[in-house]
Structure 1
Amino acid sequence: MLSVVVAPWARDAVPVFERRADELHDAASTMKVAVLAALVRGGADLDAQIPVVNRFESVVGGEFGNDPAWDSDPLPWELIGTRAPLRLLAERMITHSSNLATNLCLARTDQQSVAEVWRRAGATRSATPRGIEDYAAREAGVHNRVSAGDLVRLLHSLADEPELLTLLERNDFRVDLAAGLPPGTRIAFKNGWVPGARLCVGVVHPADCPPYVLAVCYSGPLADGSDRTDPAARLLARVSAAVWECRHDINQPEGDGK
C-alpha cells in the first residue's frame, strides 16, 4: 500500500495531490517529530543533564527497555549510566533516529502532550500513544500509526517553529525523499522504517520555486526494515523525484497549471 500527499508549504494550503491520504501505516520513527514538538512546547529545560537509562514505564503497566540491535544510533547507548544534556538526546532522536533517546525524551514529557501536538496539527487519524518498543502495549492493541495526510498537517503545524524545522534539516538518513532530489537541495524531513513499512515526510525548498511538503508512506513486503539499504527507500526516492519534476505546478493557482 502506497500513500502520497503533496501540498504547498504556504499556510492553510490544501494538497494538490492525494493518494490514500487517510490510510494508516505503522508510524515507525515519524512519531519522533511529535515527541520533539511536545518536549519543546512543554517548556522542558533542554540544557538539563538527565540520567541515561534503559528502563521505561509501559502505558499498560510494568516496564520495558530498548534493544540496541534495533537502534540506528550507538551514541546514546555509550552514555548508559551517565548523565547527558536533554538537548543532545532530542537532537539524536531526530538526526540519527535514536530509539533510546526518543524514550528518554518521552519520559520528560507525557503522552497527553504528544496527543495535543497531533490535535493542534489537525490530525484526523494519527496517534502515537506509546513509546518505541513498548511491546506489551502493542500486544494490548495500543499502536503508533500515522497517515500521509496527517504527517503533512504535522509539518505544517511547525511553520512558526523554525528551530524544529532546522533540526529536521540535519537528518542523517538521506536515502528516501532526499535521495530523489538534486544534490544539495534543502529539505527538512523525518523518515521511519520497520520491517513492512517505510515512510517519510519533508518540506522541500527548491531554489527556483516556492517550497512544498511531501509525505510518502509505504506498507508492504518491499520494506525490509534496514535504515539505509531498504529497497522501499528507493521507491520513496522515485516518488520524490517524480514530484520534483512537477514542482513548478505545486504552488500554481487552480486553473493555472500546465
Structure 2
Amino acid sequence: MVSVVVAPWGGEPVLVRAGDELHDAASTMKVAVLAALYRSGADLDAEVPVVNRFASVAGGEFGNDPGWDSDPQPWALLGGTAPLRTLAERMITHSSNLATNLCLARAGHEAVADVWRRAGATRSASPRGIEDYAARDAGVHNRVSALDLVRLLQSLADEPELLALLERNAFRVDLAAGLPPGTRIAFKNGWFPGVRHSVGLVRPEDCPPYLLAVCYTGPLASGEDEADPAARLLARVSAAVWQRRHDIASASSPSSAASLSRLMRTKPGWPGSSK
C-alpha cells in the first residue's frame, strides 16, 4: 500500500492517494513527541537521567533494544545524564528510539495526543512509546495517515525552531534523495521491516514551498536505515512531485488538481504509472 499527499504550504491538499489509509507510524510519530515536548514549557537545558526503563501504557515497564536503534550516541550516556534538548535533537536528527522514550516520559502521552488534536488529525494517534510491545499486544497502536502527517507538519508553521531541527535529519535516502542537491527540506522519516514513511516541507528557490507525505507498507521495505529499496521508491515519488512543483500552489480547483495527478502519474517510478 502506497499513500501519497501533496499540498502547498499553508493550503489544502491538491493530490491525495489513499490519504486516509492507516499505516504503522514507525518513527514519524517522533514529530508529535517533539512538538509536545517544546510546547510543554519544560526546561530543555535541564539534565535528565538517561535510563532504559519506561512505564508501559499496558502496565509494568519496558525497555528499548539497542540493536533496533539507529543512533548509538544516547546509549553511550546510559546511566548518566543528558540535556533534554540534546535528547530531542537526537530523536529527530538520528531517530533515536531511546531518546524518544526519554522525551515522551517528560512530555506525557496526553500532551502528544493534544498535538494531534491541534493539528486537526482525524485518524492518527501515537498513544504508546517506541517498543512498548505489551501495549501493542493489548491493541494499543501508533498509527498515521499521510493526510494527518501533512496536517502535523502544517501545525508547526509558527514554530520555526522545530522546522529548523527537522531540516537537520541525517537520513536523507527517501524524500530528500529525490530532490536536487542543496534543496531545503524539513522532514521526518520512519522505517522498519515492512514499513517506510516520510513527510517533509520542501522549500524550492523558484516557487512556493510545498508539503509531501508518502507512506509505504509492504514487502519492498527491508527495514534498513540507508539501503532500503522502499526508500528509493519514496525518492522516485519525491522526484516526480518536484518536476511538477510549479503546479502545486496553483492547483486549487478540482480540474487543476486532477490535471496535476495525471501529469505526475506519467512519470516513471510513480506508483501506479504504466512506465
TM-score of the two chains, using structure 1 as the length reference? 0.98
> 1:253: how far off?
5.3
Give the match for residue 230 of structure 2. Answer: 232
Q: Find the partner of 1:213 among 211, 221, 234.
A: 211
> 1:194: how far off?
1.1
Map of 1:1-258 to 2, 5 A cutoff? 1-10=1-10, 13-252=11-250, 254=252
For 1:116 and 1:52, the matched residues in 2 are separated by: 26
For 2:48 and 2:179, the matched residues in 1 are separated by: 38
For residues 66-102 of structure 1, give each alpha carbon's deviation from its aligned partner in whole angstroms, at most 9, with x where no partner exists: 0000000000000001111000000000000000000
For 2:138 and 2:12, the matched residues in 1 are separated by: 36
> 1:224: how far off?
1.1
Identity of matched residues, %: 78
Q: Could you say what secondary structure the match of 2:215 adopts?
A: strand
For 2:186 and 2:228, the matched residues in 1 are separated by: 21
Distance 1:253 1:146, change over 3 A: closer
For residues 33-76 of structure 1, give each alpha carbon's deviation from its aligned partner in whole angstroms, at most 9, with x where no partner exists: 00000001011110000000000000010000000000000000
For 2:183 and 2:149, the matched residues in 1 are separated by: 21
Structure 2 unaligned blocks of 5 or more = 260-275
For 1:254 and 1:153, the matched residues in 2 are separated by: 17
The one-letter code sitting in structure 2 at the alignment partner of 1:5 is: V
For 2:192 and 2:112, the matched residues in 1 are separated by: 21
> 1:242: how far off?
0.2
> 1:254: how far off?
3.6
The one-letter code sitting in structure 2 at the alignment partner of 1:246 is: R
For 1:76 and 1:254, the matched residues in 2 are separated by: 45
The one-letter code sitting in structure 1 at the alignment partner of 2:9 is: W
Structure 1 unaligned blocks of 5 or more = none
For 2:193 and 2:251, the matched residues in 1 are separated by: 40
For 2:29 and 2:191, the matched residues in 1 are separated by: 11
Total equivalences in the alignment: 256
For 2:121 and 2:5, the matched residues in 1 are separated by: 14
For residues 19-45 of structure 1, give each alpha carbon's deviation from its aligned partner in whole angstroms, at most 9, with x where no partner exists: 000000010000000000000101111
For residues 144-184 of structure 1, give each alpha carbon's deviation from its aligned partner in whole angstroms, at most 9, with x where no partner exists: 00000000000000000000000000000000000000000
For residues 115-157 of structure 1, give each alpha carbon's deviation from its aligned partner in whole angstroms, at most 9, with x where no partner exists: 0000000000000000000000000000000000000000000
Aligned-residue CA RMSD in angstroms?
1.0
The one-letter code sitting in structure 2 at the alignment partner of 1:24 is: L
For 2:166 and 2:100, the matched residues in 1 are separated by: 15
For 1:172 and 1:185, the matched residues in 2 are separated by: 14
Query: Does the 8 A contact of 2:196 with 2:221 survive in 1?
Result: yes
Structure 1 segments (4+ residues) deviating >3 Å: 253-258
Q: Could you say what secondary structure the match of 1:202 adopts?
A: strand
Query: Does the 8 A contact of 2:14 with 2:251 survive in 1?
Result: no
Q: Could you say what secondary structure the match of 1:77 adopts?
A: helix
Query: Does the 8 A contact of 2:14 with 2:252 survive in 1?
Result: no
The one-letter code sitting in structure 1 at the alignment partner of 2:14 is: V
Query: Does the 8 A contact of 2:125 with 2:144 survive in 1?
Result: yes
The one-letter code sitting in structure 2 at the alignment partner of 1:136 is: A
